[in-house]
Structure 1
Amino acid sequence: MKRWKPVAAGAALVLAVVGVASAQNAAITPQEFRAPPEAAKPRVWWHWMSGNVTREGITADLEWMHRVGIGGLQMFDGDMGVAQYLEKPVIWMTPEWKADFRHAGAEAERLHLEMSMAASGGWSETAGPWVKPEQAMKKVVWSEMVVKGGRHFHGALPQPPRTNGPFQGLGLIDLPNPPMVGGAPGIARAKLEEAKADPTFYADTVVLAYRQPRVEEEAVRLRPKITASDATLDVRAISDRNYDTVGRLKMAEGSDRAWVQWEFERPVGVRSFVLQMTPPPTRQAAALPNGKLEWSMDGRQWTKLLALPGTPQYVALMGSRTYSFAPVQARFFRMILERQVFDLDARMRGNVAPNFFDIVQAELSVAPRINFFEDKASFGIYVDLPESPTPVTKAGEAIVPSEVVNLTGKMRTDGTLDWDVPEGEWVVLRVGYSLTGKKNHPATPAATGFEVDKLSAEHVREYMQTYTGMISGALGENYGKSFRYFLMDSWEAGRQNWTEDMIPEFVRRRGYDPTAYLPVLTGKIVGSAAESDAFLWDYRRTIGEMLADNHYRLAKEFLAKQSIGLYGEAMGVAMPTTGDGLLNKGQVTVPMGEFWTPKPGGVDMATRETDVVETASAAHIYGRPIAAAESFTSMPSTPGWGQSPFYLKGLADQNFARGINQIVFHTSDHQAFVDDRHKPGMTLGYFGQHYSRNITWAEQALAWNTYLARCSYLLQSGEPAADIAYFYGEGAPVTVPWWKRFSPALPKGYAVDYLNSDVLLHQASVVDGKLALKAGPRYRVLVIPDEETKLTLAILRQVAELVKAGAVVVAPRTIGSPSLEDRPHMGELRKIANELWGSGAHGSHAYGKGRVYWGSSLEEVFVAEHISPDFLYGKPRVERAYEYPLPNAQAEDVVWIHRKSMPGDAYFISNQRAQSEVLPISFRVTGKVAELWHPDTGTVEPVSYKTEGGRTVVDLRLGPLGSVFVVFREAGPAEKTVPEVKTEELVRLPENWKISFPPKLGAPEQVEVKKLASWTENSDTGVRYFSGTATYSQDVSLTEKQTQGGKILLELGRVREIAEVTVNGREIPETLWKPPFTVDVTEALRAGANHIEVKVTNLWPNRIIGDQQPDAKEKYTFTVYGAYQADSPLVESGLLGPVRLVRVR
């Protein structure tokens, strides 16, 4: 029996990644910390929008990136409905496009910027107009015909659907990008090509026949009366099994629900229900709504039968789901559907959430079906398939596998069949495949085409040959020089569940022929309910392995031969397709997750938090030195151009603490114009940070980027330090869960990496009583979730071997296998389980050199194994709160991560509250000197510490959202005291300041204020709506004595958003972008008169809002969408103080 094993990567290496890997083994130095290497610098996504591209803009963009400490750019060619503003747009792969692209590569080389590009037009996934229909993503389709036995059959079998779509005849609506609303008017969009219908494709796979279970005959005879809350519903359309007819069920005015009722003449034993929906005209795919199914004997008193869970995520939309349950005898049944509370599609496309449901089919049946078969067969996705088993069937209700007849050789090419039918009633099943219809988006029309078949090595290889040939040809000599990576963005290609060689691939990987079980893919039960579910588990796992092998790994190895690497958000957030998240991320050069920017007081979605954790785990367990993240993405609910570096800092710190060590900004859109009239300029519609050379603080961005680079430098060094390896399950789809928390729960103070079956099987051993991976990590404990009571025999054997060699494992007793492949070996599985867990109901059991625990919390296990927490903190002493509207109001107080750096330990710690505080922290470190490495300033300093109970204790002072690395490098005494810094106020500056404004932005040349206050409170509309940099000036006199005796700091108090200080004409080099807004001015001050200038930069929203005022005579801003309206709230801006000079001794 053949097992799937990973194949070694190609011999070619990407130099940049080698450099980072080498840096992991090098000693960290204060010098490199202060001036981080290129590998640590943040990258940006760089979107070319709708052909709005100029050579001058390219140079200006890249020179700005280089100037402000950005290390590289990742280019996309896209179209989000952005207007065209150039008379001659630059269209994908035209000579003009190639020339501009080559210019970008040359400029990147000149400026020492790393250049990358998406693996297709748009951002998802691997697709283009050169992909032929037969090379595109495929799905299983089928038709059925019932024939009577005891005679010869000659006739044509029904043609399975050729429809492009996710399931059978359910179609996929391909909507164009809607034009941006509220932006600057453009010119008429270039007519690139005539609209035409996409080609379809169909091919046969097998023709099977099986005896029709009698219960199926009974199901056909049912003819219930159907009524609905909406009298206009076409009830025939929802019960005719025709994908071309749709019944629209409308909600009554003021109601959030609607219902459909079935009435039978007599009580019947209903045991399955199918609901199929099609998207309304403004949607690309159908989202199943939440609802419930009820039963009643009299049509008045109703009892809930089951919940109808809606579609959980936008990326997993599929409009068909089958529910199976134990038989319920009743005369009346009722389906209630509820309006979607969170309509992501409406938010993203600017549509009104529909007040109706378009139903293709809603049918009750007395026949058994596979529960959630569409999801289990990889037509769709449901997050908790293991918790949705198919109910047990009785004898005679299921198809007998050994009686399935293969008639493939008897069907002619025209679909006619000749067959001598045995006695009985038979179902002839014609199985084939057609296209899912998915195309890349949001690409320009010239770059749009079918997504390539991700399960086919042949098709993916041809795709990569074609695409890389186009890109390398356009770039010329800089392909492999400045151009170093391709990028696969988050998966938005839907699901596929077939490819040409699916059956031989299944046989090779699973060891048995799936042909007799193919009726399971249509929802029918073969053998038994458990047998059918087990086959579907094997089927999904096979798809998951093929996706990893034939798409991600093949692409990486293909590119490695060209000395090109591959970034990959593989497979993206929210389990969008059938795969193993860790396995996919482990196949690319640089695994990548994503996190977004919430609005003030909001939190990022849990799907993205777990995706980042999964990305870091994949990097750790597969030995990838970089764990990158698409960073700070935003949607319309988060105001455009409305986030300062301080606003974003807490988000960056959270994700550093989750294991990310390279920031990739989403997004720095290409700015075609180089004048001041087109600011803030081009964007990826309303998505992203709009982090370009046109933001108000573009020239102050170096300090922010350097902070991120210093954090990345230390987090890219050394090795991850986690105590827990948490096995997250087998099969597919599988990912770090966001919809639930694993049990046993993770205790505070311990770090975790998640582990998959591939790494556990092929890379794990035991060294000195620890679970050791080939990639380097060592773990004190391996944890298997309480819900994973079924393990494959291969995994159980490995767990037993690890425990025998000395590992500590926390796991529930294994009671079976999820795989049909293991059915012949259940005796061995039970024997291993009995030896490993012994006979106790709960507790622990020694096995070989190790021990297995079950029924205990992890805290109890760690106490028993004498594993103390790595990091603990106590109640902070709050010194001062800082007023600022921040996201993630419910975030943890403190986040942290530990790296085993050369030659010691480095802990990154971030305060997640907007307050200054002193935080008592203890570390599982002794015998070393504690140092503070400050990523905001690049300075390194000693700190007081003491040793208590075998731990090092530090009282750490952190500012609002403050962060620092506590580093233990050198051996030292058990206790050390550093003199405490004392501060005294010298002068509190008066509040009357002169403020100067730059020209051409609607503000007066200069104003005088008697009191420091937000510009938005000023009576002058030019000041109130000002966006940009204004200069405050003030004079202060100091005595000779005041200028002596220690450092003198200028404290600015509150600042919105960024400040730069000049004293007596001497520019202080620090850019102040976060509290405390304090800078050392000792060398610039003098006895007598001193002239102080403070440049303060705010954000773009206020000027954009000002331009929307009905009485605005002139517009000073240019945007491609309407981010703000006249009544949008203004953003507090300016120097707010109090301002004072203080002495530090």
Structure 2
Amino acid sequence: MMTSFRILSGFLRIGMLFCLLCTGLSFPLNAQTSFTTKPWTYWWWMGSAATPEDITWQMERFAEKGLGGVHIIPIYGVKGYEAAFVPFLKKKWLSLLEHTIQEGNRLGLGVDMTTGTGWPFGGPNVTPELAAKKWKLLPDSIVVSPTGQKVKRAAPGGEGLVLDPFGAGNMENYLQRFDSAFAGSRLLPRSMYNDSYEVYGGNWTQGFEEEFRKRRGYDFREAMAKLRVNGPDEEKTLARMDYQETISELVLENYARPWVSWSNRKGMKTRYQAHGSPGNLLDLYAEADIPETESFGNSGFSIPGLRVDTDYSVEKSGKPDPLAMKMASSPAHLKGKPLVSSETTTWLANHFKVSLSQAKPQIDELFVAGINHVFYHGTTYTPKREAFPGWLFYASTNYGPHAHFDKHFQYLNAYVTRIQSYLQPSQPENDILLYFPIHDLWATPAKEPEELISLGVHYTERWLTALPVGALAGRLWKRGFTFDYISDAQLALLNGVGGREVSAGHGRYKTILIPSGLYMPESTVRELLRLADQGVKIVFAGDVPGRATGLKGNRERSRLLVENMDRLLKKASVLHSGDWEKDLSSVGVNAESMAEKGLSFIRKSYKNQPFYFVANLADKFGEDWVKINLFSGSIVAIDPLTGEKQPLPVRETNAGREYFLDLPPGKSLMLLAGEQPVARAVPDMKTGSATLKGSWKLVFKEGRPGGLPEAGMETLQSWTTLSDSARYFSGTVAYSLVFDLPAGVPLDKTFELDLGDVREVADVQINGKPIGTVWSIPFRLSVPAGVLKKQKNLLVIEVTNLSANYMRLFDEVNPGWKKFYDINMIDISGKPFKASRWDPMPSGLLSEVRLGY
């Protein structure tokens, strides 16, 4: 027996017991695609050594492959091309930008750009007075000095000091350079971009002491006296909290807001990677038109057959965390921002080793975390005449014209586009607003008094998952409760609706959930009291905060806070039973059972109807009946790989209505409310399968090195076992086999072809008819009725592998391809790139091929 997937390649093995098969189906209209719903790509301009002709050539390729836009980032250049370097923001550079936007308009591609080069913000217009500064606490004073940090990976014309992000007027001064440059421009990008916060060591600004006194109500030198105390101390903790809160306010008011305001005045949107900042990410992301998170590294999903690069180190790089990604999507949901973007598949594996099947689950994880505007990381501008491997950026997955998956790239793009076409116009359908107690984070000890706590995406245990709020968020996520985070400031946006729900105007929630905590601002308690008086349900999940934030007058303010908290806990709409799951249930919040079965999902509303995107990113689930909370009628399942639509079987049980999901590891589905009557069905578990046996013929087609002879295999295994030359071959190999069907199998049915372990992409034909292309786990295809014969069926499978095996040879013979300034090329461990040390990567068909019926 074998597990089959016969809807959406697909549910045809489900025995439908009512008239759907004879009455026809009515589905919701297809979602509309646009340049926004398609995936975009980072586009590094090395030395900005670009020409209009090559810009056009590469953008036409982008459009042909199904991309929706580009994000220009000027960076360091290529050795030997110095004469072609174009200084950033000079007249010639601006003409290249205008040409890019014109071509984008012609081809239907959007164009974004960084407000600078490399990262973070800085450059030749940043004087020492405007540059990042740091302070150090001495026994009887403080010393302030410049950090000396310069723009990382700067392009010609963009070199210089990093901007101080805390000083009033600094951002406005920095942007004057762009005002001058854009003064005569007819065309501007869609969006400006601000990369992840990487101001190393910056923790001071001119006038900080005055700002501290104004905001905290006492002299910073008093705070310094508290910070000098050795060991744990309550007043030291409160002083550190005041210091961090002041920094948080300054980066919001003097860095994020002026940049967003300036961009909007010029008619541009903003994409903002707030992570890494010492401020409250929820408030910072909320400033942007398009909050942007980051998927850096490999999540290590337990999907059978999914590989992790052996050089990848979680200790060094961390791994993506959907709980941190939700920091970007939550304020977007709360404030009605339709787009949430992500830097996608950064350092997923070494260059020349990343497959489409590895990229897909990382993108699925972004989707279930609320991301709906994918930016590949990325593509390097490369001249058309430049031979393989072209120009490459050191820290990315290569999605450019020399990528080993280039001829199949459109399949991934179509997949992303189908999903984003539903996610972008839909509305959030989350039950819970989870309060994020930033002050409890600021109360955690630091190694040095002046050290800032930064909220990055790489090591979330440092600021999220190890804290009570992170532990609670993880529990909610694994149990299937739907939630968004909310900050202290964002509580003021909320109002009760109908005495039962809470709304920020762009989404409705059933409750506010407060994690176990120690500190809470008095203003937050007042907001909670206001909401409780409006009937908003508030659930406390642990210890109730009993201390006010900040040093000045803390004892008296804490006393008042406790009094107000006691008033709050006596409100009829406030629950604190000690069992938060029971309390959530009592206010109508129920978990989605599919989560405990191992499925990941996001729940939204599309055209006022329930919509789910569901992905199996683990190894627990295959097929089963599940309850899906928001559905009460029929459901249409859409396969995002193909766009095919089928009804889900449904049954009635004592626990309520259940739907049958056939979703093997690696697969995903979109679920929409159907318009036909409820379909009653039961699964038909009688399934047969057969291993296709015989002599496989292998023909080496296009690829490098050429001239390899034909070969044969009785048992499928990596083609690298055939010969020394085959160990270096990167390209396409055609496998062919003649086989008969088992006796008694009817021809008028749909079959399933399971290719097993494919390295990496397979194009399939049977009896001269194209059946399809498989590029992601599970590598399965539906074979339509009428294609197969009883005897002598010819199966041809053309398998394309990675470029890693050829690079083992090429890098040894042609090391001069690594000709880039700055960091040049490194591997995923940070060492100089050397592909010759790699073992051959398995390639081709590695396991038996089976036919299901």
Deviations 1:137-165 (A, max 9, x none): 3345xxxxxxxxxxxxxxxxxxxxxxxxx
How big is the shift at 1:1025? 1.3
Match of 2:335 in 1: 622
Q: 1:104 pairs with 86, 92, 100, which one?
A: 100
For the residue of structure 2 that corresponds to 1:667, the secondary structure is strand
Match of 1:347 in 2: none
For the residue of structure 2 that corresponds to 1:997, the secondary structure is strand
Measure the CA separation in 2 of the matches of 1:739 and 1:928: 38
Q: 1:792 to 1:1136 in 2, by over 3 A?
A: closer
How big is the shift at 1:740? 0.3
Q: 1:969 to 1:435 in 2, by over 3 A?
A: farther
Deviations 1:221-243 (A, max 9, x none): xxxxxxxxxxxxxxxxxxxx9xx
Query: Residue 591 of structure 2 aligns to which amino acid in structure 1?
Result: P
For the residue of structure 2 that corresponds to 1:782, the secondary structure is strand
How big is the shift at 1:54? 4.6
Please tell me whether residue 742 in structure 1 is matched to residue 468 in structure 2.
yes
Q: 1:1032 pairs with 724, 732, 735, which one?
A: 735
Query: Residue 997 of structure 1 aligns to which amino acid in structure 2?
Result: K
Query: Residue 421 of structure 2 aligns to which amino acid in structure 1?
Result: Y
Measure the CA separation in 1 of the matches of 2:548 and 2:522: 7
Any stretches of 5+ residues in structure 1 without a counterpart?
1-27, 141-166, 169-240, 242-368, 370-426, 838-845, 876-892
For the residue of structure 2 that corresponds to 1:1131, the secondary structure is coil
For the residue of structure 1 that corresponds to 2:607, the secondary structure is coil
Please tell me whether residue 1080 in structure 1 is matched to residue 783 in structure 2.
yes
What does 1:417-816 correspond to in 2, within 5 Å? Answer: 434-444=145-155, 446-470=157-181, 476-479=185-188, 483-502=189-208, 505-506=211-212, 509-510=215-216, 512=217, 514=219, 517=222, 519-520=224-225, 523=228, 530=234, 533-570=237-274, 572=275, 576-598=276-298, 599-600=308-309, 605=318, 608-634=321-347, 638-675=349-386, 678-685=387-394, 687-731=395-439, 737-742=463-468, 745=472, 746-747=475-476, 748-760=479-491, 762-770=492-500, 772-787=502-517, 789-811=518-540, 812-816=543-547
Aligned 8 A contact 1:927 1:971 in 2: no
How big is the shift at 1:1102? 0.7
For the residue of structure 2 that corresponds to 1:937, the secondary structure is coil
What does 1:164-203 correspond to in 2, within 5 Å? Answer: 167=136
What TM-score do the two structures reach when normalised by structure 1?
0.62
How big is the shift at 1:509? 4.2
Q: 1:551 to 1:1031 in 2, by over 3 A?
A: same
For the residue of structure 2 that corresponds to 1:461, the secondary structure is helix
Q: 1:1075 to 1:916 in 2, by over 3 A?
A: farther
Q: 1:63 pairs with 57, 60, 63, which one?
A: 60
Aligned 8 A contact 1:945 1:954 in 2: yes
Aligned 8 A contact 1:616 1:658 in 2: yes
Match of 1:924 in 2: 629
How big is the shift at 1:446? 3.1
How big is the shift at 1:492? 0.7
Deviations 1:1104-1130 (A, max 9, x none): 113356xx7x89988864644434121
Structure in which a larger fraction of residues adopt helix: 2
Query: Residue 627 of structure 1 aligns to which amino acid in structure 2?
Result: V
Match of 1:138 in 2: 133
Aligned 8 A contact 1:569 1:592 in 2: yes
Deviations 1:51-85 (A, max 9, x none): 55454443332222211111111111113xx7514
Match of 2:593 in 1: 871
Match of 1:829 in 2: 561
How big is the shift at 1:767? 1.7
Please tell me whether residue 32 in structure 1 is matched to residue 30 in structure 2.
yes
For the residue of structure 2 that corresponds to 1:750, the secondary structure is coil
Measure the CA separation in 2 of the matches of 1:830 and 1:960: 50
Aligned 8 A contact 1:119 1:125 in 2: no
Measure the CA separation in 2 of the matches of 1:542 and 1:874: 41
Structure in which a larger fraction of residues adopt strand: 1
Query: Residue 493 of structure 2 aligns to which amino acid in structure 1?
Result: Q
Please tell me whether residue 88 in structure 1 is matched to residue 87 in structure 2.
no
Measure the CA separation in 2 of the matches of 1:1039 and 1:580: 64
Q: 1:702 to 1:87 in 2, by over 3 A?
A: same
Q: 1:1083 to 1:88 in 2, by over 3 A?
A: farther
Deviations 1:907-928 (A, max 9, x none): 2222223688213322223532
Please tell me whether residue 1061 in structure 1 is matched to residue 787 in structure 2.
no
Measure the CA separation in 2 of the matches of 1:66 and 1:1029: 24
For the residue of structure 1 that corresponds to 2:120, the secondary structure is coil
Q: 1:809 to 1:1118 in 2, by over 3 A?
A: same
Match of 1:851 in 2: 574
Query: Residue 465 of structure 1 aligns to which amino acid in structure 2?
Result: Q
Match of 1:961 in 2: 666
Deviations 1:867-886 (A, max 9, x none): 332334666xxxxxxxxxxx
Please tell me whether residue 115 in structure 1 is matched to residue 111 in structure 2.
yes
How big is the shift at 1:764? 1.6
Query: Residue 585 of structure 1 aligns to which amino acid in structure 2?
Result: Y
Q: 1:1018 to 1:1004 in 2, by over 3 A?
A: farther
For the residue of structure 2 that corresponds to 1:619, the secondary structure is helix
User: Bigger radius of gyration, 1 or 2?
Assistant: 1
Aligned 8 A contact 2:694 2:738 in 1: no
Query: Residue 738 of structure 1 aligns to which amino acid in structure 2?
Result: L
For the residue of structure 1 that corresponds to 2:162, the secondary structure is coil
Measure the CA separation in 2 of the matches of 1:1125 and 1:607: 26
Deviations 1:635-680 (A, max 9, x none): 7xx32221211122222222222222222111112223435xx223
Query: Residue 581 of structure 2 aligns to which amino acid in structure 1?
Result: E
Q: 1:451 to 1:1023 in 2, by over 3 A?
A: same
Measure the CA separation in 1 of the matches of 2:402 and 2:619: 29
Aligned 8 A contact 1:1058 1:1071 in 2: yes
Match of 1:1133 in 2: 843
After the TM superposition, which of the residue ranges 55-64 and 560-569 deviates more from structure 2?
55-64
After the TM superposition, which of the residue ranges 1087-1096 and 111-120 deviates more from structure 2?
1087-1096
How big is the shift at 1:583? 0.7
How big is the shift at 1:1058? 0.8
How big is the shift at 1:978? 6.4
Deviations 1:679-728 (A, max 9, x none): 2332222x111221111220211111111222222222322222222211
Q: 1:72 pairs with 69, 72, 76, which one?
A: 69
Q: 1:469 to 1:113 in 2, by over 3 A?
A: farther
How big is the shift at 1:1062? 4.0
For the residue of structure 2 that corresponds to 1:586, the secondary structure is helix
Q: 1:113 to 1:1012 in 2, by over 3 A?
A: farther
For the residue of structure 2 that corresponds to 1:952, the secondary structure is strand
Measure the CA separation in 1 of the matches of 2:771 and 2:320: 43
Aligned 8 A contact 1:1058 1:1074 in 2: no
Q: 1:915 to 1:727 in 2, by over 3 A?
A: closer
- CA RMSD, 1 decimal: 3.6
